[in-house]
Amino acid sequence: MDGYTDYKRREYCKDIGCEVQLELDENESNKEEYEKLREICKTGCIHTTYEFHHWLIEKGYLVVRKEN
């Protein structure tokens, strides 16, 4: 959409200083440790959708989808 920007992967995580994200950044070159940390993000995120949703609103993001 013109005049808008897409959410970038892990933008929320980096902005709030998520401790898992900080560890991911530190372990980018250690594939085994990196994958263990990624699993936390995939299956057991320590933050809630409520927190994420309110962050999106605070940052001016709109959630849109195509009509059926």
Reduced to 3 states (helix: H, G, I; strand: E, B; else coil), residue 19 is helix
Q: Would you tell me the crossing angle of helices 31-43 and 19-26 to the nearest 10 degrees?
A: 160
- Judged on CB neighbours under 10 Å (0-12, 13-18, 19+), 47 is middle
pTM confidence score: 0.80
Q: How would you write the pLDDT of the chain (68 residues) with one tens digit per residue?
A: 788 888 999 999 999 999 999 999 999 899 999 999 999 999 999 999 999 999 999 999 998 888 88
The residue ranges of every structural domain in the chain are: 11-58
d(CA 67, CA 56): 21
